[in-house]
A and B are shown apart, each in its own frame.
Chain A
Amino acid sequence: MAKQGENNIKLGLFVLAGLLVLMVAFYMIGKNRNIFGSDFELKARFSSLNGLMEGNNVLFSGIQAGTVKSIEMVNDTTIEVTLQIDSKVKSFIHKNALAAIGTEGLMGNKVVNIQPVKAASFSVSNGDMLTAQKLISTEEMLQTLSKTNNNIASISEALKATVLRLDSSAIFDILNDKTIGPSLKSSLGNINKASKNASDMTMGLNELVTQIKQGKGAAGLLLTDTAFAGNLKQAITKLKSASDNANKLTLQANMIMTSVNHDMNDGHGTLHALLKDSLIARKISISLDNVMKGTDGFNQNMEALKHNFFFKGYFKDLEKKKQANKALPVQ
């Protein structure tokens, strides 16, 4: 009988152990599904659930906070999801928090993510409606990616053509030429110098302009002195009147010349006789011959006089004076 009792104790232990395992398993699952412990409800409305199901997890800032309790169609574009949230996180969820449907990992189960917003707001209360945030689904993402891929394909095609053209063009030779580097460098040096010169020049010009502004130099005077402008105007006026006079003078001279010309052509006056009458010219020539002959005769007469003893002394004195002047240099 003692054996029987011992066996019964063992059996009791065995059964209890089995039931304990069952209870632990139930509790572990229940803990994940928020069946035990106090909780409250939140609601969110989505246009598409992307496969969210009852019992899926709800994460608040990435922490397990509850499960999806129920899903209800409100109308054809609105689905209301009731979330069962652990009351431990109640004080941390604010009324302006956003609810979004996401995925655990890349391919995992759907989850509802509740994300806090920085703006201040009150804590949620039981049954509050959270704002739903539309998330891009994988399908939409893939569609966009497909478009992008097409674009990239066409771009790369175009790039390929461009590169091929570049490869055969002169630019490539230029790029390949190693001597271009140094010469480009020296060109740049020259440009640098030139620009330095230009800078100097500009500075000089600047100085000049400043001086001109200040009224220094001829140009400055020209540009800045108002009195000078008046003088210049006066001078120009005078010049004008002078030229007018000159004009009159010329007219008069012209008239005189015309009359002279007229006289000359008509054969009046001395000028005409001098310039146009050939007879007079011959007469003058003959007269001049006669003058020459006269002078020759006079010369001979004078020579004869020199040798005449009346006048010899005078001429000798003259000679002596001349020689004395030569001997004594002028002091």
Chain B
Amino acid sequence: MSLITNTEDFLEQTGKISRFAGHFFSHGIKPRFEIKELLSQCYLIGYKSFPLVGLTGFIMGLVLTMQLRPSLVSYGVQSELPVMVGIAIVREIGPVITALIFAGKIGSSIGAELGSMKVTEQIDAMEVSGTNPYKYLVATRVVATTLMLPILTLLGDAISLFGAYIGVNISSVTSLRFFFTQVFQSLTYSDIVPAVIKTLFFGFAVGIIGCYKGFNSTKGTQGVGISANSAVVLSSVLIFIIDLLTVQLTNLIGLN
């Protein structure tokens, strides 16, 4: 009985999210645009997240290099370390780690912000005052996350590669120039372009889930916490699902 309820719940949730996302495309990206709100959201979502993403990216690059080194040494190919780390960071680690951090920071904040606005009936008030709350609150945030995550990912990748450079230099010596030559020697557009495109979807997923959960939070202040929490969990899971779909799709196209 509970399984059926759960399944029904799950399907209902999926349908509602899909409808919510469809509403974004049908109503959200139509004039008039809330440019000012969008820019301030971009600032909050993108710029303010940069230190966190930079720090995690740097540590990730450093740790990944140090972790990969012993196994490469055992094969006698430690000189290929920059190549391997570069591909790993640009293709997978950079986008996914950045997106997960982003989901943790931004997904929860959007969920909590919109949730508290919903429970305190600010959204209803906004609607009454003639402002389209969907456009003003949801569309700006979703567009901001969609556009900011790729930029955060690119910067995070760069910092991560610098961390990897330091990681390589801990146990051997290489010049920064040679390190980046080696990294880019092995990279192709088919490594970078899908990675950038998928972060657009990651950002969209984080924004849309955060907004949905916030917009649909109930049960007072308790519900705010629930919506913030579930926004993070669901968007993280969605990030992995989208990642899987992307890699299958790029394989299908033959870009891999």
Contacts and interface: CB of A to CB of B under 8 A. Distances in A.
Contacts of B154: 18-19, 21-22, 25
Interface stretch (B43-51, B107-115, B131-139, B215-223): B43-51
Interface in A200-230: none
Interface stretch (A26-34, A235-243, A244-252): A26-34
Given A18-B150, A22-B196, A7 B43 contact: yes
Contacts of A21: 154-155, 157-158
Contacts of A29: 184, 187-189, 192
CB-based closest 8 A-B pairs: A18-B151, A28-B184, A21-B154, A11-B43, A7-B43, A14-B47, A18-B154, A21-B158
B120 interface: no
Given A14-B50, A26-B192, A32 B184 contact: yes
A55 B188 contact: yes
Given A14-B50, A22-B196, A28 B157 contact: no
Contacts of B50: 14
Nearest to A57: B185
Given A18-B155, A25-B192, A8 B39 contact: yes
A28 B184 CA distance: 6
Contacts of B103: none
A11 B48 CA distance: 9
A10 interface: yes
Nearest to A22: B154
A15 B46 contact: yes
Contacts of A18: 150-152, 154-155
A4 interface: yes
Interface string B117-153: 0000000000000000000000000000000001110
Given A15-B42, A17-B155, A29-B192, 12 more contacts: A4-B36, A4-B39, A8-B39, A11-B43, A14-B50, A14-B151, A18-B151, A18-B155, A28-B187, A29-B184, A29-B188, A55-B188
Contacts of B47: 7, 10-11, 14
Interface residues of B, number: 24
B148 to A, nearest CB: 8
12 contacts: A11-B46, A11-B47, A14-B46, A15-B151, A18-B151, A25-B154, A28-B180, A28-B184, A28-B187, A29-B184, A29-B189, A29-B192
Interface string B35-65: 0100110110011001000000000000000
B121 to A, nearest CB: 27
A26 to B, nearest CB: 7
**Which secondary structure dominates chain A's binding surface?**
helix
Contacts of A15: 42, 46, 151
A33 B188 contact: yes
A190 B95 CA distance: 92
Q: Which of A8, A22, A32 has the most CB of B within 10 A?
A: A22
Contacts of A25: 90, 154, 157, 184, 187, 192
A17 B42 CA distance: 14
B52 to A, nearest CB: 13
A124 B157 CA distance: 42
A10 to B, nearest CB: 5
Contact of A26 (B40, B151, B180, B189): B189
